[in-house]
C-alpha cells in the first residue's frame, strides 16, 4: 500500500496495490505542468486508488479534450492525471508519495526533450 498527499496536506490518498512501472516523461506538457525538468509518474488501477481526505480541494484541468490533470487547488500540487479513453487507469504523480515502496525507474518518454546535462541511465 502507498500513501501520499499534496504539499499543504489538504488532499491525502491511499493506493491499495503495488507500483509496477515508473515513468519519467520529458514532454513539454509535463515540464510545464510540473514546473520542472520532467514528470515522474506511474500508471495505477483507478479501482485501488482512494482519496482519503480533501476531495473538495481537487481541481481538474483539461489541457487537451481527452486528458485531465488533477491538482490541489489550495497549494497547486499535481496529484494525478487520467485519460478519458483509459477510464480504469490514473497516472499518479510519484513526488506526492509519502510512504510505501516506489520501484526503480522503468521507462523514459520523450527523451528528445531531455536536457543535455541530465544523466539518467537509459
**φ and ψ at residue 90, rounded to 5 degrees:** -120, 160
Question: Which band of pLDDT confidence, cut at 50, 70 and 90, is reported for residue 122?
Answer: low
Tens of pLDDT, residue by residue over 53-91, are: 999 999 999 989 999 999 999 999 999 999 999 999 999
Predicted local confidence at residue 56, as pLDDT:
98
Structural domains in the chain, CATH included, are: 2-113 (2.170.150.70)
Give the span between the Cα atoms of 112 and 39, in whole angstroms: 14
Predicted local confidence at residue 31, as pLDDT:
93
Output the pTM of the full model: 0.91
- Burial group, residue 102, by CB count within 10 angstroms (0-12, 13-18, 19+): middle
Amino acid at each position: 500500500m502507498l500513501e501520499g498527499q499534496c504539499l499543504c496536506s489538504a488532499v491525502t490518498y491511499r493506493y491499495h496495490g503495488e507500483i509496477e512501472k515508473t515513468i519519467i516523461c520529458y514532454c513539454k506538457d509535463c515540464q510545464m505542468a510540473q514546473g520542472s525538468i520532467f514528470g515522474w509518474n506511474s500508471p495505477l488501477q483507478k479501482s485501488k486508488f482512494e482519496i482519503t481526505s480533501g476531495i473538495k480541494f481537487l481541481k481538474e484541468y483539461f489541457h487537451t479534450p481527452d486528458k485531465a490533470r488533477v491538482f490541489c487547488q489550495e497549494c497547486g500540487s499535481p496529484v494525478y492525471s487520467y485519460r478519458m479513453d483509459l477510464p480504469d487507469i490514473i497516472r499518479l504523480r510519484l513526488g506526492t508519495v509519502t510512504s510505501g515502496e516506489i520501484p526503480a525507474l522503468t521507462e523514459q518518454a520523450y527523451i528528445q526533450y531531455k536536457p543535455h546535462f541530465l544523466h539518467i541511465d537509459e
